[in-house]
Amino acid sequence: MFKKILIANRGEIACRVIKTARRMGIATVAVYSDADARAPFVRMADEAVHIGPSPAAQSYLIADKIIAACKATGAEAVHPGYGFLSERTSFAQALAEAGIAFIGPPVGAIAAMGDKIESKKLAKAAGVNVVPGFVGEIEDTDHAVRIADEIGYPVMMKASAGGGGKGMRLAHSEADVREGFPAVKREGLNSFGDDRVFIEKFILNPRHIEIQILGDQHGTILYLNERECSIQRRHQKVVEEAPSPFVTPDMRRAMGEQCVALARAVGYYSAGTVELIVSGADPTGQSFYFLEMNTRLQVEHPVTEAITGIDLVEQMIRVAAGEKLAFTQDAIGIDGWAIENRVYAEDPYRGFLPSTGRLVRYQPPVPGWEDDGSANGRRGLDGVRIDDGVYEGGEVSMFYDPMIAKLVTWAPTREAAAAKQVAALDAFEIEGLGHNIDFVSAIMQHPRFLSGALTTGFIAEEYPQGFHGAPASEALLRNLAAIAGFLATARADRARRVDGQLGDRLEPPADWAVRLDMQGYEVSLEADLVTVDGVEIALDMEYTPGDRLVHAEVDGEALTVKVEALRSGFRLTTRGCIHRADVLPLRVAPLTAHMIEKVAPDLSKFLICPMPGLLVALHVEEGAQVEAGQPLAVVEAMKMENILRAEKAGTVKRVNARAGESLAVDAIILEME
């Protein structure tokens, strides 16, 4: 077994590998860029080596720097994590030439399966069903249009070396191809150093199913069941679960055996994932097609670990050291259900715009994951596991992926695992930047999700007008009104105690008028009983003004609420939605009818940068006539290009920025007349 390994990655996956290596008694070496100098994974490792500036192209993507760090520290092997160099054939080859073990598959398998174009050719030759498309070299945009016309719309354009949802565009028409093809080439080049693109038919109502593969260097290849990853946004996975609510035992076996045969054809070993697209229109579930094989560990691997009890990172290390797998296919079962939500630094209330900046407050619902070697350890504390690589006071940088953490829950049933997600998300505290906690909580409560009727179009279909918070039942609103009344009484009582001039004989108001989400409630407090519009509610909670999180028991049911004090009440966040509660003493409330309403300024004539990023392109100049929906500019943030369009027709009055400039959030790019 290795005595020391280097992790050629950063963030939560670096922390994840270090924890398993530590349990195995293996010393670890971290490599880090300028932006990550104070990151948790750097502190966790036994040694750390600085490898360059913040941009990945100048640090994490330079193989020579990784190899030099290995030689300087005596690291015998490298775990690449995912992304960066994990699927670079040249990197694995360079390690081999330097006498350093690669904790991953053989070079030949990476070359055969890591390239989407070549892997499709190989899969087709092996008799594997592949999605119809064009897998040759595409000369230019005109050539791409001809190919798309021949295949038939809709089509998907993908960067050959892409992954993680980057370098992908869906096209419903020629105009979409002409707009999207150059962007896919740029994203492929910027993120992966490869601008080749292929085009394939887009399967309608698809489900995204993937099979986890694990093999050793002695000819054993096993499949560790499937994961469902259908809920995606911009082709980036948001929710993953294992097993899939759609896959039957016969379908699982058919998929697994086919994926094992494909892996065996390329001499595969280590962990890997074969991704499949399944037609939701086929009730038998037999219409599945090969998409690609990821020759690395997947972001969503914890859900497989939770239902199998197998530590995939440990197995990768053991396989790289030449050990045989210690279990057989028959020993791999399915114990319970696991769901993973990716907590991203993006604002779902503002069209999912990336949000970078400082984590002013970061308190996950449970401590970061620690594996004690048991299946329960891989499931986390009470079935809740957090994989993260950030810290309170740290920065979420524009240079890397916007993921803050992965929240994994395990339970005996799918419904219970989803309920644990909602409860854990309510207790997740993040301040200082936008995040998607409310959004993923809303998904966990959505009737369609709970029914298991998933497709990759779930988010677009269920939130066509964007996300505005999860719907709240009348019972929940009534409970929140009761909590708002309790909070107001606590605040008034504290003010009475602080200000001695009021005297101890004055009691805080017990009757309140609460306006919650434009609905009015009359709340009366008496001991532990609260009356809301005549309905009695048993409320048990403690609160000290300044608390950010309150844990309440309402009519015997637990409810966790994030609290932000406002001048006229509170902002209450729970169950996937933000609720504004304006609270006034009941006797004062009628006076609000005489207040002047403040009208928000009209900003529709400005094109405002919605996030910190690089202005890649500016499509108009002063005096130009534009139409509603016309692309005006392209801003790149966190390795993704975002097209900014005109809200309405008009004339460009003034341009305030130039292509190539770095823009701050809310910077005015241009002004309309």
Q: What is the pLDDT of residue 286?
A: 62
pTM comes to 0.84
Report in angstroms the alpha-carbon separations of 492 from 236, 495, 551: 47, 5, 20
Report phi then psi at 420, rounded to 5: -65, -35
Average pLDDT of the chain is: 91
Instruction: State which of 183-187, 248-252, 411-415 shows the largest mean pLDDT.
Output: 411-415
- Contact in structure between 192 and 213 (CB atoms under 8 Å): no
- Contact in structure between 133 and 198 (CB atoms under 8 Å): yes
- Contact in structure between 670 and 657 (CB atoms under 8 Å): yes
Domains of the chain: 4-103 (3.40.50.20), 132-201 (3.30.1490.20), 206-462 (3.30.470.20), 474-594 (3.30.700.30), 606-672 (2.40.50.100)
Lowest mean pLDDT among 41-50, 96-105, 539-548: 539-548
Q: How far apart are CA 42 and CA 389, in angstroms?
A: 10
Q: What residues act catalytically?
A: 292
Segment holding 242, helix H or strand E: strand 239-242
- Per residue in 403-455, pLDDT tens? 999 999 999 999 999 999 999 999 999 999 999 999 999 999 999 999 999 99
- Per residue in 273-299, pLDDT tens? 999 999 766 555 567 889 889 999 999
**Residue 120: pLDDT band by 50, 70, 90 thresholds?**
confident
- DSSP H stretches of helix in 404-537: 414-426, 437-445, 447-451, 458-462, 474-498
- DSSP H stretches of helix in 542-600: none
3-state secondary structure of 6: strand
Q: What is the pLDDT of residue 505?
A: 55
3-state secondary structure of 457: coil
Beta bridge mates, 516: 519, 581
- Per residue in 82-118, pLDDT tens? 999 999 999 999 999 999 999 999 999 999 987 777 7
* For residue 141, pLDDT beyond 70: yes
Q: How far apart are CA 321 and CA 251, in angstroms?
A: 34
Q: What is the pLDDT of residue 638?
A: 67
- Per residue in 327-379, pLDDT tens? 999 999 999 999 999 999 999 998 888 888 899 999 999 998 888 888 888 99
Query: To 5 degrees, how large is the angle CA 126–CA 129–CA 131?
Result: 125
Query: To 5 degrees, how large is the angle CA 243–CA 246–CA 251?
Result: 85
